Each structure stands twice: as C-alpha cells, then as structure tokens.
Amino acid sequence: MQSHQTGENAKWVGISIAGCLDSITPLVRPQIQGLILCLDFREAHIYITHLPP
C-alpha cells in the first residue's frame, strides 16, 4: 500500500461511501469494508462527517 496516496484515496472512498451507503448491495458491501480497512479510516471519517446531510 502506498501511504502517500492514502489521503486522496480515503477522500474519494469516504465521499463515495457516504453518498451511496443506502444503495450498497450486500454483495458490494464486503468489498467496500475491505477498502476502508486498507485505507486510513480516520481520513475517510473526516470527509464523511463534512458532507451535507
């Protein structure tokens, strides 16, 4: 894993998860969870909490 890219990846994944969380199917959800585990979750959480409701 390339740590210098983790911030950008977490930003993109965080926004995608927050925007599509209600639409994620049971087949895709495990893959999303795997991505979160591979990224810096603290970064993703920051971007999720800053999205509009």
- The token pair at 39 is 């990224």
- Residue 7: pLDDT above 50? yes
d(CA 28, CA 17): 11
Confidence of residue 3 (pLDDT cuts 50, 70, 90): very low
Does this model's pTM top 0.85? My answer is no
Confidence of residue 1 (pLDDT cuts 50, 70, 90): very low
- Residue 38: pLDDT above 50? no
d(CA 7, CA 17): 15
Q: What is the mean pLDDT of residues 38-49?
A: 52
- The token pair at 20 is 């599509």
